[in-house]
């Protein structure tokens, strides 16, 4: 079965996800928490809660729980959108930035462990190819082609 790329990717992903989940647990965070904090870090302007959920593919009711837990810990802030009082915008707090930086550093260590059999140049090439595949699949999904 390892000759089937999709299967091999799924197995490697499952192993990496388990390691990531254990590490995130040490920070009292889950994978969705990391995804939300990372997405906020990538945003130039604070996104609406709805846009954030759509971008990450998180069900709105689940996102309310994730955002609420992060807000409770002071890792993000949720404010009414001044242009539309029905919406909330969310953004990282300084504490959220500190926590994200700590977790991202640990995640980089996990990446290095997972990709240890590859030479540094192979790691860079693999990451670039995987990003292209993922971008393509996300583009297909956004247009309802999957």
Whether residue 145 is predicted with pLDDT greater than 80 in this model: the reply is: no
Domain boundaries, the chain: 5-114, 115-146
Task: Give every CB contact of residue 96 below 8 A, 6+ residues apart in sequence.
Answer: 37, 40, 70, 74, 75, 76
Mean pLDDT value of segment 122-133: 95
Residue 2 predicted with pLDDT over 70 = no
Identify whether the C-beta of residue 3 lies closer than 8 Å to the C-beta of residue 37: no
Q: Between 86 and 108, where is the model more confident?
A: 108
Q: Domain 5-114: give its CATH code.
A: 1.10.10.10
- pTM of the full structure: 0.82
Mean pLDDT computed over every residue of the chain:
91
């Amino acid at each position: 079965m390892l000759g089937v790329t999709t299967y091999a990717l799924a197995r490697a992903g499952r192993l990496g996800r388990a390691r990531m989940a254990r590490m995130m647990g040490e920070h009292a965070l889950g994978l969705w928490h990391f995804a939300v904090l990372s997405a906020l870090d990538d945003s130039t302007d604070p996104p609406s809660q709805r846009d954030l959920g759509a971008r990450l593919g998180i069900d709105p009711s689940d996102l309310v729980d994730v955002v609420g837990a992060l807000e409770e810990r002071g890792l993000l802030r949720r404010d009414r959108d001044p242009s539309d009082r029905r919406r909330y915008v969310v953004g990282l707090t300084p504490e959220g930035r500190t926590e994200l930086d700590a977790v991202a550093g640990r995640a980089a260590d996990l990446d290095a462990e997972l990709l240890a059999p590859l030479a540094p140049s192979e790691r860079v090439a693999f990451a670039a190819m995987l990003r292209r595949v993922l971008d393509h699949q996300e583009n297909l999904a956004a247009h309802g082609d999957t």
